[in-house]
Amino acid sequence: MNAQPWLKSYPAGVRWDAPIEPLHVHSILAQSVRRFGPLPAFEFMDRRISYAELEALADRAAAGFQKLGVGPSVHVGLYLPNTPHYPIAFFGVLKAGGTVVNYSPLDALRTLELKIEDSETDILVTLDVASLYPRADKLLASTRLKKLVIGEFSEYALAPGPAKAFMTAQNMLSEIRRDERIVAFRDLIDNDGRHSVHELDPREALAVIQYTGGTTGSPKGAMLTHANLTAACAQYTETATRTDPPGMLEGKERTLCVLPLFHIYALSAVMILGLRLGAELVLHPRFDPSAVAKDIALKKITVFPGVPTMHVAVLNLPGVETFDFSSLKFCASGGAPLPVAVQQKFQAIAGCRLAEGWGMSETSPVGTFTPRGAAPRPGSCGVPMPRVEMKFVDVVDPSREVALGERGEICVRGPNVMKGYWKKPEETAAVTTADGYFRTGDVGVMDEDGYIYIVDRTKDMLIVGGFNVYPRNIEEAIYQHPSVEEVSVIGVPDAYRGETPKAFVKLKAGAPPLTLDEMKAFLRNRLGKHEMIGELEIRDQLPKTPVGKISKKDLRESERTRAG
């Protein structure tokens, strides 16, 4: 393979060898405050928070966290939706010298417990909403957690009183019990903002532990250093601002932040990048396609990053053709493969190109980008980002590199690639080649112009609505049902979620019939929402391999045949 066949496809002005300096993540905010201080950084429930105000709040959070014992090697969990609490706490933890651990509200309670213990999280920041606080309180009792910091959902709204009254009437809030281990967010930041500054090496100090299944099913914490995340920011900035005309203008963009900030895509490619460029980030705590379409039109959103399921939902809104999307200039899709039909329909309605990219938690999540202004390449996720080196190795024999145009496992190397998996040196070694590339587990093809097409995965991982889902986790939960003898889960195509888990079940002799609704009810407290099965098929026998294992290959083949 030509070492860098993608260079011929780079837009004029974009440098593959762009200089990248290792920095602290919070230095990005500090630089932007100097340049964009009075401009709005975030908008939430009609209230705007300027860059200067955001840094002042983050300084006060840093001082508050240090009073709670946060410093180097102390891990603070963020169990939050998209509200101003997230960026304030995120930068507060980093300024205090600590490390952020992201927690998903979609995770099952048992998964949260395992991650807290594994990551050695001491403090958890969350909100008073009914979907979060009761579980956080249980975690305080059942895990190593020492403190809960609890914010009020509406305290950063333009009209906090009416917002709180409405949410209370809708039973959306929880009563917070008083306990010496529970700290109100407003008390955390009730100080003058003076805090100690730790001189940490950005190339070694961990900014974030981001949990992912990687290329296997067991959750692992990707260790992302300050240098990893600031490198990713520099790489995104290079591709977004140095084209002619630029894709994004500094101090001019209004970005819709509906992707969850606990996800690496939103954290890195939306929040950190947006703050670096002086954008105003309009926060949506949850995805509501109608609210998204209305905000794009009324608030003149210019940048809309999403996952395919979001784009599908917006396209399916009644009367979507009547919305004014003329302000959009940069739309992106990531997290899962983007169906060509969805891409084309979105572009026809929005009048804005929907560019696809690829990356992983382990790569911060820099990987590929679609060159601005280039002719569409349906099915491609673009070319390697600046400073990202790629090679493709034989899936059976990873020591052998395949030729250009041949299918192989994608391997990447660059300043954005994680330090390794938290407390898992063996698994880190297993995904690292002898010459320092990260083996992604994704199988792809690179054409002669350097464009990449993802064609398969080396493992059974599914991508459901942009989230990694692992069949084994679902199978383990289904096996707990008293009527189930055997089960196997595969992914089947889903027009909205991309893929949905389908369970094939053999019942025990004499067991009563089992419906999909009954199984969903059984699994509700055992799985996260993103893991819930979408289909159930009861079979007398499940196909087996010669050694007696259930054959997912045969199940996939039967699904392909059934689908026509």
Show Cβ contacts of residue 298 under 8 Å, excluding neighbours closer than 6 positions.
Answer: none
**β strands within 213-290, DSSP E:** 220-225, 254-257, 280-283
Distance CA 280, CA 32 (A): 12
Q: Are 119 and 77 in contact (CB under 8 A)?
A: yes
**Global pTM?**
0.87
Tell me if residue 437 falls in helix, strand or coil.
coil
> What count of other Cβ atoms lies within 10 Å of the Cβ of residue 537?
14
- In this prediction, residue 546 carries a pLDDT of 53
Using the structure block, give the residue that is written with the tokens 């093809």: 445
Exposure on the CB side of residue 299, measured as CA atoms within 13 A: 27
Show Cβ contacts of residue 165 under 8 Å, excluding neighbours closer than 6 positions.
Answer: none
Using the structure block, give the residue that is written with the tokens 């249980």: 138
Distance CA 223, CA 204 (A): 10
Alpha carbon 538 to chain centroid, angstroms: 34
Which mean pLDDT values do the consecutive 10-residue runs of the chain (564 residues) have?
A: 86 95 98 98 98 98 98 98 98 98 91 96 98 97 98 96 93 93 98 97 98 72 98 97 90 97 96 98 96 97 92 90 95 84 90 93 96 87 97 90 94 98 96 95 93 80 84 86 92 90 94 96 93 96 74 89 84
Q: Are 228 and 419 in contact (CB under 8 A)?
A: yes
- In this prediction, residue 495 carries a pLDDT of 86
- Indicate the Cα dihedral angle 423, 428, 430, 435, nearest 10°: -150
- In this prediction, residue 337 carries a pLDDT of 75
Q: Are 288 and 471 in contact (CB under 8 A)?
A: no
Q: Are 445 and 453 in contact (CB under 8 A)?
A: yes
> What count of other Cβ atoms lies within 10 Å of the Cβ of residue 259?
25
Q: Report the chain's C-alpha Rg in angstroms.
A: 23
Q: Are 380 and 452 in contact (CB under 8 A)?
A: yes
